[in-house]
Amino acid sequence: MAVCELISEGGLDAVTVARTAESAGISVGLVQHYFPTKDGMLLHAFEHVSARIRSRIEERISGGVEHRRPISRVLAGAMAELIPMDETRRTEFRVSRVFAGRSLDVPALADVDARAAQVLRGDIAQAVHNGKECGEVAADLDPWPAAVRLAAVTEGLSMQVYRDFAYVNGVSAADVAASIIDSELAAVFTGECLQYTSKDDA
Amino acid sequence: MAVCELISEGGLDAVTVARTAESAGISVGLVQHYFPTKDGMLLHAFEHVSARIRSRIEERISGGVEHRRPISRVLAGAMAELIPMDETRRTEFRVSRVFAGRSLDVPALADVDARAAQVLRGDIAQAVHNGKECGEVAADLDPWPAAVRLAAVTEGLSMQVYRDFAYVNGVSAADVAASIIDSELAAVFTGECLQYTSKDDA
DNA sequence: CCAATAACCGTATGGCCATACGATTATTAC
DNA sequence: GTAATAATCGTATGGCCATACGGTTATTGG
């Protein structure tokens, strides 16, 4: 979608109907034909990128499960998908973050954003749950707080990595991120975080 | 600052020079007198809120250290300061997040954002380092990756909490966040995350 | 073949906004 | 007291943009 291209280059301000039309090689009238209002166009674009990211993640998980790879490895790969470490992921990150920023004021966008986050946590929780049946995860672990934790650390890391792309003393930010994700997964899977699960039940 | 008020109500689009002037009870000409350009005004506002948040965090840390409270408790309090759990923190979160969104396209804002993140990590790392001297932290722990991890989890949690303010089956999002922060701190302080520190050195 | 529907175009317009600008009043410095 | 500097105002303007609108060409269904 042309909108995403414009956003990634110059942010939401760069997205005018005229420019979008030009960038897509069509006329202003036509984009109006498809999207009577600009807000609708933006909403559609946001849904579009959310869906794409989501399907990548889900493919990665289901693919890994099919190949009987250990759940922790599968999740590590899926979460790494969200870290902006190469230029492609970086632009994707930028686009969804711009929309997320706008979500703070536009309820329709906030919906998409919230739903995306919810789905991600759901997928993670599902994977953790599967891990139980394979004996990879402690049986008394509540998958939901675990999923919140994993989703949070991934999202937070993605921003740290985005800001400081090249990192301290030679170690790349992406490597640090991967290591942190690994150790988070280990923590969750060895049941180290049971402590707050039980605390919640109190 | 009137700008922040407008942002928190209607996002950056709601911030026009005229409205800002009105909201501040002055004339358009006067705001021009102080900020020849609108971008400058925005930049100033962003610096303003960044500095305020930062000073709150730093006070909290230095205050805790003075009272000889355990570092892990001090850090937990400082990090909780960043979680949007009440209405005040929520609007503050919204404002800084709106600016962060714009940072993706405006280098000047990106600078402020990156610097703020850097300072936060620095403060955390310093606290962790102090914990060593008190024997609270394993001596061979590199404070920097630990700080990255803690900053990331805090930032990620703040967004999860913001999106789903009221949370699943009666447990408030803020409680979950606090528990997760606690367990993160425990993990870092017991040296559980040494694994990625050593991996980095390899 | 022909209507109706969809794809597609270009221009016009009314609104909003950042900034420019000149004027007016307070404050300070000498 | 006066000149210079700062604070303050109101209006004008030129630009950009979303949307409206009327027209033209394809596509399709019967």
Of B101, B154, B171, the CB nearest to A156: B154
pLDDT (average), residues A164-181: 76
Q: What is the pLDDT of residues A62-103, one digit of tens each?
A: 999 899 899 999 999 999 999 998 899 999 999 999 999 999
Tens-digit pLDDT profile for residues A104-129: 999 999 999 999 999 999 999 999 99
Sign of the four-CA dihedral A32, A33, A39, A43:
negative
Q: Does strand C come within 7 Å of the CB of B27?
A: no
H-type helices in chain B, by residue range? 2-10, 17-24, 28-34, 38-66, 71-80, 87-103, 107-133, 143-163, 173-189, 194-201
Q: For residue B187, what pLDDT is reported? A: 82
Please check whether residue B19 lies inside any domain of the structure.
no
Q: B168 CA to chain A: closest CA distance, Å?
A: 9
B15: nearest nucleotide, CA–C1' criterion: C17
- Span CA (A99) to C1' (D9), Å: 39
Buried b (16+ CB within 10 A) or exposed e, A39-48: eebbbebbbe
pLDDT of residue A165: 67
Residue B114 C-beta-side C-alpha neighbours within 13 Å: 15
Determine what percent of chain A is predicted with pLDDT higher than 90: 68
Strand C contacted by B37 CB (< 7 A): yes
Are the beta carbons of B2 and B30 closer than 8 angstroms? no
CATH number at A72 reads 1.10.357.10
**Where is pLDDT greater, at A35 or A141?**
A35
Residue B106 lies in a domain: yes
pLDDT at B201: 34
Residue A16 (CA) to nucleotide D8 (C1'), in angstroms, measures 36
In a domain, A105, yes or no: yes
Helices (H) and strands (E) in chain A, counts: 10, 0
Residue A168 has pLDDT above 80, yes or no: no
pLDDT along chain B (202 residues), means of 10: 90 95 95 96 96 96 92 93 92 95 95 95 93 82 90 96 73 83 84 41 32
Asked if B57 contacts B82 with a C-beta cutoff of 8 angstroms, the reply is yes
Calculate the CA A119 to chain-centre distance: 10
CA of A47 to C1' of C4 (A): 33
The shortest CB-CB distance from B176 to any of A110, A145, A175 is to: A145
In a domain, A10, yes or no: no
The SS3 assignment for A190 reads: coil
Helix residue ranges per DSSP H, A67-172: 71-80, 87-103, 107-133, 143-163
Q: What is the pLDDT of residue B174?
A: 80
Q: What is the domain count for chain A?
A: 1
Residue B94 lies in a domain: yes
Distance B19 CA to D4 C1' (A): 32
Q: Helix (H, G, I), strand (E, B), or coil: what is residue A106?
A: coil
The C-alpha atoms of residue A163 and residue A186 are separated, in whole angstroms, by 26
Chain B residue with minimum CA distance to A111: B163
Give A101: exposed, middle or buried? Use CB within 10 Å, 0-12, 13-18, 19+: buried
Instruction: With beta carbons less than 8 A apart as the criterion, state whether A202 and A167 touch.
Output: no
Cβ–Cβ contacts within 10 Å for residue A118, how many?
13
**0.85 cut: is pTM over it?**
yes
Q: Which nucleotide is nearest to A32 (CA to C1')?
A: D19
Query: Encoding tokens for residue A21?
Result: 């039309």
- Which of A159, A195, A197 to mutate to test binding with chain B, by most B CBs within 10 Å of its CB? A159
Within-domain flag for B138: yes
Chain-centre distance of CA B4, in angstroms? Answer: 16
Q: Establish if A5 belongs to a structural domain.
A: no
Q: Domain of residue A175: give its range.
A: 39-188
Cα gap B150→B152, rounded to integer Å: 5
The shortest C-alpha distance from A94 to chain B (Å) reads 7
CA distance B58 to chain A (A): 20
Picking from A153, A175, A187, the nearest residue to B156 by CB comes out as: A153
Q: How far is the first Cα of chain A from the last one, in angstroms, to the nearest whole number?
A: 48
Minimal-distance CA residue of chain A relative to B9: A105
- Tell me if A9 is assigned to some domain: no
Average pLDDT over residues A5-14: 94
Chain D bases closer than 7 A to any CB of the protein: 7-12, 16-23
Would the pLDDT of A153 be above 50? yes
Q: Which of B99, B85, B102 is nearest to B50 (CA)?
A: B99
Instruction: Indicate whether A142 pLDDT > 80.
Output: yes
